[in-house]
Structure 1
């Protein structure tokens, strides 16, 4: 079966929690999507029942760069 990045399983062993976690359950985790080598998932541990945001590694790198350089501002 050919899976896309939205339906493929996330590898629980690949979860990486933010270094800014305050041990209160309110943090962000990044995970690999093994069936899709270029895909990653971002999950909010405050709402574990909600699906993680998924995208390509390059898209998340672009988003991160835009945040760090101030290209994204509040509306």
Structure 2
């Protein structure tokens, strides 16, 4: 899997922003990839790049968030 999508807006993906996101513009959007992977992009730069993850990689990231692995010190 290519870990990088150069132009997220032209990738033909359906991008979703969390309903918990406010209107401050500091959000990421996620899209489902063919083969069950996920892509992430910065909502402020929809024509910019996106990062692509295999399903297992994305699941591990989400679990890390839920477990508090990325809390600021």
Bin of the TM-score, shorter chain as denominator length: 0.5 to 0.7
State the TM-score, normalizing by the size of structure 1. 0.64
In structure 1, stretches of 5+ residues that fail to align are none
Q: How does 1:52-63 map to 2 (within 5 A)?
A: 52-63=50-61
Aligned to 2:40, which of 39, 42, 50?
Answer: 42
Equivalents in 1 of 2:41, 2:71: separation in Å? 22
CA-based RMSD:
2.7
Query: In the alignment, does 2:8 pair up with 1:10?
Result: no
Aligned residues: 70
Shift of 1:21: 1.8
In structure 2, stretches of 5+ residues that fail to align are none
Shift of 1:48: 2.4
